[in-house]
Amino acid sequence: VCWPDAYDEAQHLVDYRRNGAYEAADWIKSLMNETSIAFVLIGLKRTENLLLANEQLRRRFSATVAYDRFTFSANTSLHFVMLLQAIEGELPVQTISFVEPAMIKRFYLASYGLIDYLIKIVDRAVWLVQVQDLVGIELPVLAQAFEDEVWSYATEDRNPFSASFNFQPLFGKREPFETFEESST
């Protein structure tokens, strides 16, 4: 059985190659030819520039899948809730419910719907519970995890897991999602 090779953060092939996307795309195509191994390219949206630069490579990667961040609206929040529920069910420590309405909103605002931020917060919270020999994950643990992993300068009213959080998106100046496109929350 031959498994494909997966290359994460493939956008860096476009970002840092001096001769641009065409040379990077040609290199990938040559590597595929020489090794007879299937490749999976994973990266930000601009990874598609590799495919646009080389028609032969584009044909080889004709099946692309785009994953965007989770959005939070009446129609789409169910997927985010299901993710939180799945994560909560796999934790090796006790925890408060991740799927209470206020907690769902807190996790969404803390992560902007990006799985990377969500997992960093939860991983850090688990680590804090284990290292500090705490009973389980509570709001103060999540608040510390958010500060450790996402925004070390968070004030009480801007930390989504603080009791005094104002439930406003973190799009302000020098806030974690300042340069992200604002969407409905």
Q: What dihedral do alpha carbons 96, 102, 108, 111 form, nearest 10°? A: -50
C-alpha distances in angstroms, 93 versus 66, 128, 142, 161?
33, 11, 13, 18
Whole-model pTM: value is: 0.73
pLDDT in tens, 31-86: 888 988 888 888 888 888 888 888 888 888 878 887 778 887 777 788 899 999 99
pLDDT in tens, 123-158: 999 999 999 999 999 999 999 999 999 999 999 999
